[in-house]
Amino acid sequence: MTTYIIRRLLLLPLIILGVTLIVFSMSQLLGPLKLLSTYVDPNTYAKMSERDIQILMKQYGLTDPFPVRYGKWVKNLLKGDLGWSVVGKEPVLDALIHRFPYTIELALYALFPIIGVGIWLGVTAAVHHNSFIDQFIRIFALIGWSLPDFVWAILVLLIFYIGLGWFPPGNLSIWANQIVKSASFKNYTHLLTIDALLNGRIDIFWDALRHIIGPVIAISWLWWANLLRITRSSMLEVLRKDYVRTARSKGLPEKVVINKHARKNALIPVVTTAGQMVIGLLTGVVIVEMVFVRTGLGSFAATAAQQLDYASIMGVLLFTSLLLIIGNLIIDISYAIIDPRIRLG
């Protein structure tokens, strides 16, 4: 066990290095001229002369050989300098740091309904195995699993914003945004809802919440489907186990059997899925953020890709990869601690 953890930790730098190499090589497929165009305003680029191009290419070091550029890039990485973000109009690291809290907040708010409802649905389905409820939940899962997120997100926006006017797109209303940006508003955590409460602004809290609910609904279905499938099958398996049967044969009420014996054991694999879900929410809410026009890592990545802003693209990829690596490490290690029976390797 300890050796497992040590091994994982030792491999960590290697994997991170591998990721930087992949990310950097991808960006370098673009060639110097395209790389240059991310530094210059598009309309201005159209008006540039040959000489301007030469000067700028030199200034930005685009003509150096690959290893030199990679070395420079890694050196800058270690200093926290990921380059200039054209889309963000600020250094890439700042752009990431400014946008990440929005994504964290969305993930946090999505987490509780997804886990709560997902597990509840899964357990319900398992307990009523093969009944009407089970079938219904399975169909619900199937649709959620098959529904493209962008179609569902547009529908949510259509229904809850345009139809009912409840959950507008964006991060905050304009009036609220102005207060949040003013000097009197203290940013403790950079999570809007929590900061609003800490500042005693219930109105802003509500406003921020209103902007989060729509995306949360749009994200939830897929993850409900995911989670309830896992919970259901794991629960079904546990229910067949000897100790549950023994408990039942002892005449314990069904509720006690499920709550005390079955559910606890069934939830072990669910923990992994939930962990992966957190990582997934932090690294992959591109579509929902785009449709709901939310500031965040996902929309940042998509806009950067649309404009071929390669510094930002590399930054986001690297950042999210780090999240993924560390997140998985934590999940695996904690899983190994919870359930030492699993095969390590």
Q: Which of residues 79-138 bind another protein (CB under 8 A)?
A: 84, 88-90, 94-95, 98-99
**H helix intervals, the chain:** 2-28, 32-37, 42-46, 50-59, 66-78, 92-127, 132-146, 149-157, 174-181, 192-198, 202-240, 242-249, 254-256, 263-283, 286-291, 297-307, 310-338
Helix (H) or strand (E) run with residue 84 in it: strand 84-85
* From candidates 10, 14, 78, 164, binder to another protein by CB under 8 A: 14
Please list every residue from 235 through 274 that binds another protein, using CB under 8 A.
236-237, 269
Contacts 24+ apart (CB under 8 A), 264-267: 265/238, 265/241, 266/123, 266/126, 266/231, 266/234, 266/235, 266/237, 266/238, 267/119, 267/231, 267/234
Give the range of 67-75, 116-124, 211-219, 284-292 binding another protein by CB under 8 A.
284-292
Alpha-carbon span 180 to 201, nearest angstrom: 10
* From candidates 33, 330, 338, 344, binder to another protein by CB under 8 A: 33
Give the range of 17-25, 107-115, 250-258, 331-339 binding another protein by CB under 8 A.
17-25
Task: Give min distance, CB of 259 to another protein, in A.
Answer: 21
Task: Give min distance, CB of 63 to another protein, in A.
Answer: 12
Residue nearer to another protein on the CB measure, 75 or 256: 75
Contact 219/288 with Cβ under 8 angstroms? yes
Which x/- pattern, by CB under 8 A, does the window 133-172 give for another protein? ---------xx-xxxxxxx--xx-xx---x-----xxx--
Give the range of 42-50, 104-112, 204-212, 245-253 binding another protein by CB under 8 A.
42-50
The secondary structure of 92-157 as a DSSP string is HHHHHHHHHHHHHHHHHHHHHHHHHHHHHHHHHHHHTTTSHHHHHHHHHHHHHHHS-HHHHHHHHH
Task: Give min distance, CB of 198 to another protein, in A.
Answer: 21
Contact 192/204 with Cβ under 8 angstroms? yes
Residue nearer to another protein on the CB measure, 203 or 256: 203
* From candidates 43, 130, 184, 249, binder to another protein by CB under 8 A: 43
Give the range of 116-124, 199-207, 244-252, 320-328 binding another protein by CB under 8 A.
320-328
Neighbours of 306 (CB within 10 A): 10
Please list every residue from 202 through 241 that binds another protein, using CB under 8 A.
230, 233-234, 236-237
The burial of 307, by beta-carbon neighbours within 10 Å (0-12 exposed, 13-18 middle, 19 or more buried), is given as middle
Alpha-carbon span 132 to 135, nearest angstrom: 5
Which x/- pattern, by CB under 8 A, does the window 54-73 give for another protein? -xx--xx-------------
Residue nearer to another protein on the CB measure, 29 or 78: 29
In degrees and rounded to multiples of 5, residue 268 shows phi and psi of -60, -50
Give the range of 12-20, 63-71, 211-219, 245-253 binding another protein by CB under 8 A.
12-20
Q: Is residue 176 a contact residue for another protein (CB under 8 A)?
A: no
Task: Give min distance, CB of 231 to another protein, in A.
Answer: 10
Give the range of 196-204, 243-251, 254-262, 324-332 binding another protein by CB under 8 A.
324-332
